[in-house]
Structure 1
Amino acid sequence: MTASHHAPQSRALRPTEPGMLPAPCDPAHVESIIRSHERCAALGLTRVDRGDHTPLIRTDLNLARERALRLHLHAAPVMELLLEQTMATQSMVLLTDTHGTVLHTVGHDGFLQRASKVALAPGANWSEASKGTNAIGTTLMNEAPTVVHGEEHFMQANGFLTCSAAPIFDPRGNILGVLDVTGDHRSYHMHTMGLVKMSARMIENHWLADDFHHALRLHFHSRPEFIGTLMEGIVAVGRDGRFLGANRSALDQLGMSCSALRMNTLGVLFGTTLGAVVDHFRSPMATPMPLQLTDGRRLHMRAVFNWPTWHAVGSLNVVDNDAPTAANVPQPASTGSFFGAASGARPATASDAATASASLSGLRYLQTGDAQMEAVIAKVRRVLNRDISVLVLGETGTGKELLARAIHQDSNRSRHPFVAVNCASIPESLIESELFGYEEGAFTGARRKGGVGKIVQAHGGTLFLDEIGDMPLPLQARLLRVLQERQVTPLGSSKSVPVDVAVVSATHRNLRDMISAQTFREDLYYRLNGLVVRVPALRERSDLMVIVHKILRAEANGLPPELTGDVINLLQDCHWPGNIRQLANVLRTATVMAAGEAFITREHLSDDFLEDVLRQRGERVAVPSVPQVQAADEAAPVAAEASPPATTLEAMEIETIRRAVDEAGGNISVASKRLGISRNTIYRKLRWRQGIA
């Protein structure tokens, strides 16, 4: 490098001069800037150059944006959040591709006008070859976060800027682009770089979850309270136990590169097996799992995975003997839970897992022996990947979204997003912007630079329109146009965005009656009902107990408790107005109440459920009389109650517990020790409420 380049650069690195970094420079940072200046000089650039300000022509910019559409979708909301966190400064947030081309910007209007003088706008290129030393270009060269402040920029025209940039990597270690915050050098803040790095990691984590939504994902940290934060490491694991990808926090904690990680297995690195992980996290209430690395360091880990894909890996998987077998349907060695995991006693072998992996699908897990559901699934299978819309009818809570997700999982679109929109839960004034997106200033309160609609988010995947019958009539015409033209025009925009989505819709309403009443468009109806299927209500199905056992296995941490004959009768006598959703809530509560016990009894069921069933039976609802005791261990006198003679095993058990409490002078701890059961069990059995001082 010539002397002409050394002088201004050394002046730029003195932190005491006006406009310089307010803290002493890190030697590694100084070395990075020097190397960048040397590269710029070798390219023939000079300090007085203004750089190439010619932006890409619109067609080329649109092509670049199309290639990076997925990156933009993940980054756009994060950029808005990052801008809000830097509101105190005159700055802007930029997203570039791997060539340094600016794809998207958000920022303050005043600074945007000034930035336009140095081509900080979409279509401009900020590689080192184009603009000399700058945070974006130097980050791309080093593949590491970079701050370039004031006169550290190689070109003097950019000396009024301070820039903090971080690379964005995919889970396999490939660079996707750069996230950058650029502002006036006088507004420099030492925390900006930290915010940029955190935001880049947020985008990376979204990308990882999107890439490996069917994989086993392990979230870990040496401190359990950091799980669920941006500090956590995340790794994706394949069915062979090998690592598929990781975020940067994981690589930092493990001290290895992404390529080195992918050469390892779960057993070698973490000292555990797939089956052990799956079994540990069978219950949503499972605590973090302790792990130990080969170097002795201890980690805490939570797992995220899709049960229909992974349940066969667990060591507790068995044949579901209580499920009737449908004729002419291949039956696998094991069946999955209707809502989650399967369980049992026979250890699954490697061949079992391989067979299950090859033969089971999302729709397969909805097959529980009911003839009506078998017919629905058979119809759906025939139209998979045929570009035929599916309309799912059925009462609320029957599992219409479960069917939609199964259709997506079994289709060729399963690696792309499944986006669900509940047309009944979104305020009418917001449905249009939620579905189609909007441009900046399209309405009062619109976010800066607009928002991406659900239809565009589902590009390449499946759009699920739940409760389509509740969509306002004016929007039905817009939706029909989108489905016909396969283009979306955001609210307030004149430009259309091409989209490719499979559409599954659902409703509990009678759309034909709505057409007659002119509250639903007939042309939209015939566009949505390529195939119409009806999910039966739970009371109409013949597989109630199969579903019950599957839900219990999903909810229990280990082997689920058995049901007493009394409880089975109650479940069978219920009309289930809330369908499967209501059944799942009842069983979830009962499983928690019966934790540690062998049987679920009437005492573990919620009062409102019992009242509903007894009322449906025509029986009188009796409110149990319960004594009040203190929750503390201090003795408290318990009023003696006249009890009817114990005529059943359950009544004898309750009478024995009451007598033990009386003999202990009301001290629950003493009674629990004498009986060999927990205090919580005593409370549940007697249905006592803890006294409140």
Structure 2
Amino acid sequence: MTLHGLDPAAEATRDRIDDAALSQRREAQEQFLQIAAPKLDQLFALVGQSGCAVLLCDPEGVVLDRRCSEADREVFRRWGLFEGMDWSESAEGTNGIGTCLAESRSLIIHRDDHFLARNIGMSCIDAPIYGPDARIVGALDVSSARADQTEAFNRLIAAMVGQTARQIETDSFCAAYPGMRIVHADADDTDAATLLAVDHDDIVVGATRGARKAFGMAATGPIAPVPASDIFGREDGLRGFEKAERAAVICALTRAGGNVSQAARNLGVGRATLYRRMKRLGIGESGANLSRG
């Protein structure tokens, strides 16, 4: 009431952007929408028969995409749950989509938790979706206008919404780093996608929001490149060029199936030279020794 000047009893017309503005927003998020579409279909297949709609919104709370059954389509349209509608807190007060985005967290807004009286018939379950740069790119929403929807059922849906949001986040991150090695890192936060993008030089060049929190990286935006070995704490007693040389020799031997002569040719050195380097670096010939190295 103070911040946005909203009246909880207001019956004013709901805010919807025009079709041209909606098209522009969808074009700006085209890749995100393409990645999310199959996940929305999967989520709707799970909750749609229960009278729920699935919505994907942009960071400003505008609905970009929706899934609902034909039988429920007109009901959700009357509730304002369709493409182009503005569900930001400034437009609708406390609600699933707007409050999820305002507070950057998953939540359930059940019936009279809503600020506006016209929305208290709904239950809304939401989770934020973070982009590859760890900034929020949207919100995933499941809404129901069923009077018999219980809070226990909402919690079951919330688990599916959170999982789907993380799947979209994971797929978006992988698409942002094509050709990179994507590493799933261990972290305490099991609700977050904890992924690192590692380039061909074994340098970490990208990280999801969960990985940034786990490894003390920049909260948003580009990260400072860091060797993957520094993050994972792998130590073999070598330093600097010796460590890089050992890695190169092991890679060459692995590609050659342990054949030292072939590995030497691939490295452009003589067989005897490679043997001397292997001895100096503590690399054995056998597959067992190589795997331990």
Structures share fold, TM-score greater than 0.5: yes
Counterpart position of 1:76: 37
Counterpart position of 2:94: 133
One-letter code of the match for 1:91? C
Counterpart position of 1:166: 127
- After superposition, the C-alpha distances for 1:315-373 in whole angstroms (9 at most, x for unaligned) are 4547xxxxxxxxxxxxxxxxxxxxxx9615xxxxxxxxxxxxxxxxxxxxxxxxxxxxx
- After superposition, the C-alpha distances for 1:5-26 in whole angstroms (9 at most, x for unaligned) are xxxxxxxxxxxxxxxxxxxxxx
The answer as to whether partners of 2:108 and 2:158 remain within 8 angstroms in 1 is yes
Counterpart position of 1:633: none
Query: CA separation in 1, counterparts of 2:138 and 2:221?
Result: 23
The answer as to whether partners of 1:148 and 1:164 remain within 8 angstroms in 2 is yes
Alpha-carbon spacing, 1:187–1:216, altered in 2? closer, same or farther (3 Å): same
One-letter code of the match for 2:71? G
Counterpart position of 2:80: 119
The answer as to whether partners of 2:59 and 2:139 remain within 8 angstroms in 1 is yes
- After superposition, the C-alpha distances for 1:72-127 in whole angstroms (9 at most, x for unaligned) are 10111000101112145210000111111111100122332111112111111111
> Does the alignment pair 1:269 with 2:231?
yes
Q: Secondary structure at the match of 2:170?
A: helix
Match of 1:219 among 181, 184, 196: 184
In the TM superposition, what is the alpha-carbon distance from 1:43 to its structure 2 partner? 1.2
Q: Secondary structure at the match of 1:262?
A: coil
Counterpart position of 2:278: none
Query: CA separation in 1, counterparts of 2:64 and 2:192?
Result: 28
Alpha-carbon spacing, 1:262–1:163, altered in 2? closer, same or farther (3 Å): same
The answer as to whether partners of 1:92 and 1:181 remain within 8 angstroms in 2 is yes
- After superposition, the C-alpha distances for 1:386-442 in whole angstroms (9 at most, x for unaligned) are xxxxxxxxxxxxxxxxxxxxxxxxxxxxxxxxxxxxxxxxxxxxxxxxxxxxxxxxx
Query: CA separation in 1, counterparts of 2:142 and 2:62?
Result: 15
Counterpart position of 1:536: none
In the TM superposition, what is the alpha-carbon distance from 1:144 to its structure 2 partner? 1.3
Aligned pairs (5 A) from 1:453-468: none
One-letter code of the match for 2:55? L
Alpha-carbon spacing, 1:131–1:230, altered in 2? closer, same or farther (3 Å): closer
One-letter code of the match for 1:271? G
One-letter code of the match for 1:70? Q
One-letter code of the match for 1:187? Q
Q: Secondary structure at the match of 1:126?
A: coil
Query: CA separation in 2, counterparts of 1:314 and 1:56?
Result: 59
Aligned pairs (5 A) from 1:352-431: none
Aligned pairs (5 A) from 1:269-348: 269-272=231-234, 315-317=246-248, 343-344=252-253
The answer as to whether partners of 1:219 and 1:234 remain within 8 angstroms in 2 is yes
The answer as to whether partners of 1:172 and 1:244 remain within 8 angstroms in 2 is no
The answer as to whether partners of 1:145 and 1:165 remain within 8 angstroms in 2 is yes
What's the TM-score, normalizing by structure 1? 0.33
Match of 1:187 among 130, 137, 149: 149
One-letter code of the match for 2:252? S
Counterpart position of 1:102: 63
Alpha-carbon spacing, 1:217–1:209, altered in 2? closer, same or farther (3 Å): same
Counterpart position of 1:205: 170
Alpha-carbon spacing, 1:120–1:231, altered in 2? closer, same or farther (3 Å): closer
Query: CA separation in 2, counterparts of 1:174 and 1:51?
Result: 32
The answer as to whether partners of 2:206 and 2:223 remain within 8 angstroms in 1 is yes
The answer as to whether partners of 1:201 and 1:248 remain within 8 angstroms in 2 is no
One-letter code of the match for 2:19? R
Query: CA separation in 2, counterparts of 1:132 and 1:195?
Result: 25
The answer as to whether partners of 1:221 and 1:232 remain within 8 angstroms in 2 is no
Alpha-carbon spacing, 1:145–1:51, altered in 2? closer, same or farther (3 Å): farther
The answer as to whether partners of 1:163 and 1:180 remain within 8 angstroms in 2 is yes
The answer as to whether partners of 1:246 and 1:258 remain within 8 angstroms in 2 is no
Alpha-carbon spacing, 1:314–1:220, altered in 2? closer, same or farther (3 Å): farther
The answer as to whether partners of 1:83 and 1:106 remain within 8 angstroms in 2 is yes
Stretches of structure 2 lacking an aligned partner (at least 5 in a row):
239-243, 263-285, 289-293
The answer as to whether partners of 2:15 and 2:91 remain within 8 angstroms in 1 is no
> Does the alignment pair 1:235 with 2:196?
yes
Q: Secondary structure at the match of 1:221?
A: coil
Alpha-carbon spacing, 1:52–1:254, altered in 2? closer, same or farther (3 Å): farther
In the TM superposition, what is the alpha-carbon distance from 1:234 to its structure 2 partner? 1.2
In the TM superposition, what is the alpha-carbon distance from 1:259 to its structure 2 partner? 4.6
In the TM superposition, what is the alpha-carbon distance from 1:269 to its structure 2 partner? 3.0
Counterpart position of 2:107: 146
Q: Secondary structure at the match of 1:92?
A: strand
Alpha-carbon spacing, 1:98–1:216, altered in 2? closer, same or farther (3 Å): same
One-letter code of the match for 1:173? A
Query: CA separation in 1, counterparts of 2:187 and 2:261?
Result: 38
Q: What RMSD, in angstroms, separates the aligned Cα atoms of the two structures? A: 3.3
- After superposition, the C-alpha distances for 1:468-524 in whole angstroms (9 at most, x for unaligned) are xxxxxxxxxxxxxxxxxxxxxxxxxxxxxxxxxxxxxxxxxxxxxxxxxxxxxxxxx
> Does the alignment pair 1:176 with 2:122?
no
Query: CA separation in 2, counterparts of 1:61 and 1:314?
Result: 54
Alpha-carbon spacing, 1:194–1:205, altered in 2? closer, same or farther (3 Å): same
The answer as to whether partners of 1:221 and 1:231 remain within 8 angstroms in 2 is no
The answer as to whether partners of 2:166 and 2:192 remain within 8 angstroms in 1 is no
In the TM superposition, what is the alpha-carbon distance from 1:52 to its structure 2 partner? 4.4
Aligned pairs (5 A) from 1:276-675: 315-317=246-248, 343-344=252-253, 553=255, 556=257, 559-560=258-259, 596=287
One-letter code of the match for 1:175? I
The answer as to whether partners of 1:236 and 1:243 remain within 8 angstroms in 2 is yes
One-letter code of the match for 1:152? D
Query: CA separation in 1, counterparts of 2:46 and 2:231?
Result: 38
Query: CA separation in 1, counterparts of 2:8 and 2:193?
Result: 42
Query: CA separation in 2, counterparts of 1:203 and 1:171?
Result: 11
Query: CA separation in 2, counterparts of 1:173 and 1:127?
Result: 21
One-letter code of the match for 1:553? R
- After superposition, the C-alpha distances for 1:533-587 in whole angstroms (9 at most, x for unaligned) are xxxxxxxxxxxxxxxxxxx817x4xx34779xxxxxxxxxxxxxxxxxxxxxxxx
In the TM superposition, what is the alpha-carbon distance from 1:168 to its structure 2 partner? 1.0
- After superposition, the C-alpha distances for 1:578-631 in whole angstroms (9 at most, x for unaligned) are xxxxxxxxxxxxxxxxx949xxxxxxxxxxxxxxxxxxxxxxxxxxxxxxxxxx
Query: CA separation in 1, counterparts of 2:111 and 2:217?
Result: 35
What's the TM-score, normalizing by structure 2? 0.74
